[in-house]
Structure 1
Amino acid sequence: MRAYYDLHIHSALSPCGQNEMTPNNIVNMAWLKGLNIIAVTDHNSAENSLAVMKCAKEKGIVVVPGMELETREEVHLICLFKRIEDVLSLQDMVYNSLPDIKNREDIFGEQIVMDEEDNVIKHVERLLLTAANLSIEEAVSYVLNLDGVVIPAHIDRDSYSIVSNLGMIPDNPHFKFLEISKKCDKNPYINDEKYKGHKFIQSSDAHSLGEILEPVNFIELEEISAECLIETLGG
């Protein structure tokens, strides 16, 4: 069946995300737009994932536990999981690998953790918008050991992409899918010999509610679930 998706959404936990990106607002906007499956992928953290998952149950939307991890090479990787426990395990590893730099809210923005009723629980004090001391290889290995999947993010961009920073896609058999930006024409990538063997997804990288995707991109799944999505993206 077709599952309309947006697998790259930031909540108010990401310092670059707008404060309107609360768990309920994200879910309600995805529901209004007719999406079936979404992932909240905050920078180097997953502290709002459970709240979003709880909100989504009432709307019939599947929320995939996720994170946008920044590696030592300053490459952004979308990491998606079947279970909330697994993304929180990755979060522990990432938190232990981040530099001890305090967030400057006046410069970078707030990093807000909320519950399923959009109540503010806390502000994360350590800056999340920085590189963890983990290589791409180390990050991929850890995610795969948790039965997750890794998708190099926005490979068409001039910064924080695996192509811009490394000059190529590493010969990694686990990179089945690559992400390109929502406004990018994917045909040149599909037809480019150097991307042969890869498939592509397009997500919003939304930092505000209006940026969440309309139901234009879909993936064929046997059932709409986090488990089936991960198996499909990893297969």
Structure 2
Amino acid sequence: MTPGVVARKLSEKGVDWIAITDHNSTMNARSFGVRLKREGIRVIPGIEVHSSDDVHVLGYFFDLDSAESFSGWLYKKIPDVSVDPEVFGYQIYVNEEDQFTGIEEKWLGQPVSLNTSQVIDALKDAGALAVYAHIDRSMGVVYQLGGLGEDSFPADIEVAFERNYETYSDCRRYFVWHSSDSHSPNTLAPAMKIRCESRTLQKLIEAVHSCDRERKTIIWG
């Protein structure tokens, strides 16, 4: 999943706007942003935080500096456990030319020392939009904890499966997101078609939060 490979795959699929949400880190977002911009693809810097409750929470940032600052802060909340690359793969850093620049030895796939509420509060304090990731499958808040707290509404949630969409289609209670959640080039694919004035995070939020379904069309895989 290097910038060049991702750029080619997205261009083939006709995708012109994505979010980069690596596990517990944003440290490759800059190189991906530079490379994809050359291809006319806009990148929203993001992160997928693994809470101590085993719940994944997405964070979308309005600018890269804020994303990297949050990532640096979060890094200190990740237990000092080394990754076994033979089991979990190598955690590498690359530049926009797909050149190897470093390796991360701390395991980024483990939970951080913050519970789900603390993760959401930290993301909001950093100026990010917090979204419950893939709520209806493993590591989702509904799957792991049995539901959303009543004080969570209205809630930004990511629904993984079309069969569950109608359950969460009330736009007064839920703002439904969908993504490819791709972990390999072959699974990169369009996930939402958004109608808005410009490709900015603010306009994306406005479209997803709108009750006008013509502004957001979910593309189910």
TM-score by length of 1: 0.81
Is residue 2:125 matched to residue 1:152? no
Q: 1:164-179 residue pairs with structure 2 within 5 A?
A: 164-173=143-152, 176-179=155-158
Write the letter of the residue equivalent to 2:143.
Answer: S
Residue ranges of structure 2 left out of the alignment (5+ in a row)? 211-221
Q: Within 5 A, what are the aligned runs for 1:207-226?
A: 207-214=183-190, 217-226=192-201
- Alpha-carbon distance in 2 for matches of 1:86, 1:139: 15
Equivalent position of 2:3 in the other structure: 23
Question: Residues 134 and 233 of structure 1: is their aligned pair in 2 closer, same or farther, counting only changes over 3 Å?
Answer: farther
Find the counterpart in structure 2 of residue 4 from structure 1.
none
- CA drift of 1:48 comes to 0.7
Shift of 1:146: 2.5
Deviation of 1:142 (Å): 1.9
Is the CA contact 1:177–1:233 (under 8 Å) kept in the aligned structure 2? no
8 A Cα contact 1:149 1:234, kept in partner: no
Decide whether aligned partners of structure 1 residues 135 and 46 sit closer, same or farther in structure 2, where only a CA change above 3 A counts.
same
Percent identity, please. Answer: 27
**1:173 CA drift (Å):** 4.6
Q: 1:233 to 1:72 in 2, by over 3 A?
A: farther
Closer/same/farther in 2, CA of residues 231 and 93 from structure 1, 3 Å limit: farther
- Tell me what 2:53 maps to: 73
1:229 aligns with one of 184, 195, 204: 204
How far did residue 24 of structure 1 move? 1.6
1:175 shift after superposition: 5.6
Q: Structure 1 segments of 4 or more deviating over 6 A?
A: none
Q: Which residue of 2 aligns with 1:62?
A: 42
- Aligned partner letter, 2:131: I
Q: Following TM superposition, by how much is the alpha carbon of 1:64 offset from its aligned partner in structure 2, in angstroms?
A: 0.3
Contact 2:153 2:173 in 1 (8 A): no
Q: For the Cα contact (< 8 Å) 2:154–2:175, is it kept in 1?
A: no
Aligned counterpart, 2:29: 49
- The alpha carbon displacement at 1:231 in A equals 5.4
Which residue of 2 is the match for residue 88 of structure 1?
68
- In the alignment, the residues of structure 2 paired with residue 122 and residue 234 of structure 1 have an alpha-carbon distance, to the nearest angstrom, of 39
After superposition, give the CA deviation of every residue in 1:27-70 in whole Å (9 maximum; x if it has no partner). 22112211121011111011110001001211111100011100
Question: Is the deviation greater in 23-32 or in 44-53?
Answer: 23-32
Measured in 2, the distance between the counterparts of 1:104 and 1:203 equals 28
Considering Cα pairs closer than 8 Å and 6+ residues apart, tell me whether 1 or 2 has the greater RCO: 1
Q: Could you report, residue by residue, the CA deviation over 1:86-119 in whole angstroms, capped at 9, with x for unpaired residues?
A: 1112211221111110010011111011000000
Pairing partner for 1:180 from 139, 155, 159: 159
The whole-number CA distance in structure 1 between the counterparts of 2:163 and 2:157 is: 14
Structure-2-length-normalised TM-score: 0.86
Q: Which residue of 2 aligns with 1:14?
A: none
**Aligned residue in 2 for 1:18:** none
More helix by share: 2
Q: Distance in 2 between matches of 1:102 and 1:148?
A: 28
Shift of residue 187, structure 1, vs aligned partner: 3.5
How many residue pairs match? The answer is: 210
Q: 1:200 aligns to what?
A: 176
On the 8 A contact 1:155/1:179 being kept in 2, the answer is yes
Q: Equivalent of 1:163, from 142, 159, 165?
A: 142
Kindly tell me: are residues 161 and 173 of structure 1, through their superposed partners in 2, closer, same or farther at Cα, counting changes over 3 Å? Answer: closer
Equivalent position amino acid for 2:120 in 1: V
1:61-82 Cα distance to aligned partner (Å, 9 max, x none):
1100011100111100111101
